[in-house]
Structure 1
């Protein structure tokens, strides 16, 4: 019981620290200046390991359609709270090596780089948005 309370306290402290660092005033302007040469309006930008969505928000502000992946469920919940534009798609991770959320009818393909693993594509709703 005590161990679980300590773990929750550490997690809350880490989340508060991340919110302070990544969503502090002025940071978005700096990220937009940094990524402006690489991201053109209307392009698709990927944010893998999206954390709290600060870079996804910057990509969106530059006019990109954003596909973000955050494998940690607690951070994905905060991502949804902080970043809400309709041009940002957050893919959810279901289980280790199990693939992204997808349509059940879509077959999984063998992963050529990791024998024995299977790769699932984006679900149909995500494919239509891209």
Structure 2
């Protein structure tokens, strides 16, 4: 993943794509910051799974910022946030569609033998283990809760 990001950054520099350069630099900086924090805490460097979590968090931050900009009439800034989201998404694995999410949730409920809403946590842990970075876990949680009612 780091190599892929580095190659993409080099290509963006050659193409002089300023939006892409700044977004890729933000990603690499976030990963390096987490590396430093892990090293300070005596943990291993950032894993592939942690990189996925960083990217997902960056997307959520930008989605929230875009909504705020739209609410305040700053459409050009909202568009910039959406461009950054598109760039970040290039580095995530393909996302499951709603039908696949529902199927995965049904399988998780079945595999964990969940019966009530108290079991949502176990189902979500199973989904996070099986599909890291491949689905919106907020939507998955809603599906799981619907299945357990």
TM-score by length of 1: 0.31
Higher relative contact order (CA 8 A, sep 6+): 2
Largest Rg, 1 or 2? 2
Q: Which has the higher strand share?
A: 1
